[in-house]
Structure 1
């Protein structure tokens, strides 16, 4: 088959030609040292997007990403843009979200347009003492690069940059594929301006295929296309029982303190197996049977201590992909060092729930609120505030884009691509579906079970990084050949 012959589907076969694939593979291979070095420079920028941190670092990160995209020579426009956190239009006094990078080039000759998404902001480092190496000093040990953001998601950013660079080197800068690149700057802080950014830049972001590089793979040898994500509900729960603190010796045993009420209330959220016991929070019962995962492998990957047993019922992966969870991720209470002999009047926690695919996050929140108010012990007062929700996501894998993505992954990794669910959430995908209902959405990524995203000693497997770049570059080349 020559570079200009047609496949049975009616598309040009240039992107499938051995010559193009050979050039793509060679470009990725020779470009890996530079990609790792550029990723390391991004990791050195502490681009934490939370409000308590210096926004200048997020701005510096956006500028660095913009320069990388300009350097590919693929784009007609590369801009750093911000959108308001609330309200559809920018005006005086509005609070803007963190800087994002938007790069575009128009499609030609009937070719599709692909939108590549990743985010350049990162989680806070946490306790530096828990890191083996400084969190913002990228360090290679063995076949892994360690550092905050090394995987989540600056490796996703660099996978896009490196794959576009390989495409340009293999096909020349005058290829026909349309490209848009959206590198967000506040994903780790709730994507608060995401919906407004989409609305304000809808024309520039419109695409036939959207690649979200922010997920993981089965292991370091097996690629995955994520086909389901759980939704999320988070809020601050405050439990109060007293107008002020009272002496625990004088009033304890008769006056209910807030900690006692809180502990009793939280205990009602799960049954004896550890499954969620909130009426109205549903499992995804129509989900396909997940692959088998041994308890031994799960224990190792989840870092269970000896003697600690898994919670829930059913296949282990179904518990993480298709069932709801409720977790307490933070608590405001006196520390052990500062504890005094008093009955606490109020205690607050951060509750984080994962919502099974198929259930709206608003419905799950309503179920949680009903449960907490109905089960508050001793007449305790309940306050719920700072509510944030995000809907779950299910991929339609019947489209041509998913077929092409899995084929590219299989060719790049040398192993059949697997469709997987993920227990985590990417709430903004619901915004993408709403704004671009006709687009095919592909959720890919560079992570693996040992990545430890959001945790100390986050790392990127460099072999996974290379194969992820190659898979995306092959996909782009083949889509460039699609009529």
Structure 2
């Protein structure tokens, strides 16, 4: 990758957007939109964010845009955008989400509020500032800097997907991408969500663990019965359920259902995460050294293994307990899993496991699933991205084969068939989804420079070089060049 004055000019323009306050001004305006997708009353705000804020910003960068209704039954609109330069250059597909979790206004620390940015030293507070408004604002500002530095040209095409339902599990996203597969055909996917491994270290991840939510229910009878008169002769559903859970996950957090264990960790994955350090930020919780699968590093437990967590457990009335054996007990559980896990039959595996343990009357109900994905760590786009980021930042980026959490990467990797690169701009202690959510100004400024370098390098022949060397990444010829209609 050749060092040119123009590349440096693009990076300086991105940094100037930060230093001048222009980036902060844009972000303040975006954070002010109360885009809480869990609240149906915010549907008009979700549409306004796309049509009044994002669409004009993209149009100024040469994109054609259209807002589309969500194909599911929820009011979470989406925006599709296209910036087309030529049939003979690569096409990059990118993604962002404009919705946020609930503000929980009353729970923020005194002096802070979710819908207004408050600056305290290096911290910028506001709901969605880390997830995802700050991240997609960085990517748009960096793209604007490169377009300016190249006098209006990128050297590649860009397609964009903007959704407003990510925080409610992206309903309709896969269906829309399947319908728009020809329009969204491309050569590479780049987006930003989730945290870096640490504030100081730029990071690339290539997919995410899957997420399978399930319920365990023990319903033994109608109504409660006096614990003195009937205790010792009536089965207690809470006790049965506790035994069921302890047979699935032991008291050290180890997954005991053999059929739900992942395949052995691939050597390339193990090598990639060998230098990943988790939980070393100042606000990180204490890591329990004996919790989870034994003989694995902390990073391997989070990034390369399967876990089951109990999210909630109810029996009787915890707020006002009475001396009665409850009739029903229920647990809400979640499995995070890596590529290669037999998640399709998870419900059957759990039921069979409980039967083999002699535990009866536990109903297993799988309620939702998001697939696990992971781009091959040896894929040529991976080394290209790592080189670009190191070239700009002077730091060796962390490579995570898959995020420990879950993003809708399966839509892009499987439905659209794209190699996927995620370059996050948050950090682990950002209080994402919690009160006092924030981003670090120092990380934002560095990320602007990093993304300006990435957007620049895509137009400097890197894509053509990889295509020539590998013979499999030629620019897509399937994209139509018809203009997009603007739709309300």
Question: Shorter-normalised TM-score: what interval?
Answer: 0.7 to 0.9
Does residue 102 of structure 1 match 2:77?
no
Note the 1:38-437 alignment, pairs <5 A: 38-50=26-38, 54-70=42-58, 72-75=60-63, 77-85=64-72, 95-96=73-74, 98-108=76-86, 110-126=88-104, 128-129=106-107, 131=109, 133-285=112-264, 286=266, 287-289=269-271, 290-292=273-275, 297=279, 302-304=284-286, 310-313=291-294, 314-333=296-315, 336-372=318-354, 374-375=356-357, 377=359, 379-384=360-365, 387-426=367-406, 428-437=408-417
The alpha carbon displacement at 1:453 in A equals 1.8
TM-score by length of 1: 0.85
**Contact 1:136 1:148 (C-alpha < 8 Å) held by counterparts:** yes
**Contact 1:78 1:104 (C-alpha < 8 Å) held by counterparts:** yes
The alpha carbon displacement at 1:236 in A equals 2.9
* Aligned CA distance change for structure 1 residues 171 and 432 (closer, same or farther; 3 Å): same
User: Does 43-52 or 165-174 show the bigger shift?
Assistant: 43-52
Q: Deviations over 1:226-284 (max 9, x none)?
A: 13521111123322122222222322222123222222211212234321111211234
Aligned partner of residue 445 in structure 1, secondary structure: coil
**Contact 1:24 1:474 (C-alpha < 8 Å) held by counterparts:** yes
Q: Mind listing any 5+ residue stretches in structure 1 that lack a counterpart?
A: 1-12, 86-94
* Structure 2 Cα separation of the partners of residues 394 and 240 of structure 1: 39
Aligned partner of 1:92 in structure 2 is none
* Structure 1 Cα separation of the partners of residues 347 and 105 of structure 2: 31
* Structure 2 Cα separation of the partners of residues 226 and 363 of structure 1: 27
* Aligned CA distance change for structure 1 residues 399 and 270 (closer, same or farther; 3 Å): closer
* Aligned CA distance change for structure 1 residues 29 and 398 (closer, same or farther; 3 Å): same
* Aligned CA distance change for structure 1 residues 219 and 258 (closer, same or farther; 3 Å): same
* Structure 1 Cα separation of the partners of residues 434 and 450 of structure 2: 27
* Structure 2 Cα separation of the partners of residues 23 and 293 of structure 1: 32
* Structure 1 Cα separation of the partners of residues 281 and 85 of structure 2: 48
* Structure 2 Cα separation of the partners of residues 480 and 348 of structure 1: 55
The alpha carbon displacement at 1:375 in A equals 4.6
The alpha carbon displacement at 1:25 in A equals 1.6
**Contact 2:270 2:300 (C-alpha < 8 Å) held by counterparts:** no
Aligned length: 454
**Contact 1:224 1:417 (C-alpha < 8 Å) held by counterparts:** yes
Q: Please tell me the root mean square deviation across aligned C-alpha atoms, in Å.
A: 2.7
* Structure 1 Cα separation of the partners of residues 365 and 149 of structure 2: 55
Q: Deviations over 1:195-228 (max 9, x none)?
A: 1110222222211110121132222221111135
The alpha carbon displacement at 1:443 in A equals 1.5
**Contact 1:211 1:441 (C-alpha < 8 Å) held by counterparts:** yes
* Aligned CA distance change for structure 1 residues 55 and 245 (closer, same or farther; 3 Å): farther
TM-score by length of 2: 0.85
